[in-house]
Amino acid sequence: MVIAAHAPRVLRKGVPVLVTSLLVLFAVISTTAPTARATETRGDGRSSTPGVGAMRVYPSMTPFNPNKDKVFGDLTTTQRNDRLNNCPSGRACVAAGQGDGRHTVFELYYCGERSLSQFLGVGAVTNNQTGNVSVRLENKDGIVVSTIPANNTSTRINWDPVWYLTAC
**Nearest-angstrom CA–CA distance, 15 and 24:** 14
On average, the pLDDT of the chain sits at 79
Mean pLDDT of 104-128: 97
Q: Percent of the chain, pLDDT > 90?
A: 64
Q: Which pLDDT belongs to residue 55?
A: 81
Query: Tens digit of pLDDT for each residue in 13-49?
Result: 554 444 444 344 334 333 333 333 233 333 334 333 3
- Residue 53: band (very low, low, confident or very high) from pLDDT cuts 50, 70, 90: low
pTM value is 0.68
Q: What is the pLDDT of residue 136?
A: 98
Query: Apex CA 129: angle with CA 127 and CA 164, to 5°?
Result: 60
Q: Provide the terminal-to-terminal Cα distance of the chain, rounded to the nearest Å.
A: 86
pLDDT given at position 132? 87
Identify the sign of the CA torsion 120, 125, 130, 131. Answer: positive
Identify the pLDDT of residue 47: 38
Give the CA dihedral 134, 139, 143, 147, nearest 10 degrees.
-20
User: In one letter, which amino acid is 16?
Assistant: P
Lowest mean pLDDT: which of 42-56, 97-111, 148-162?
42-56
Give the pLDDT of residue 104: 98
Residues 6+ apart with CB under 8 A from 87: 93, 107, 126, 127, 128, 152
CA dihedral 128, 133, 137, 143 (to 10 degrees): 170
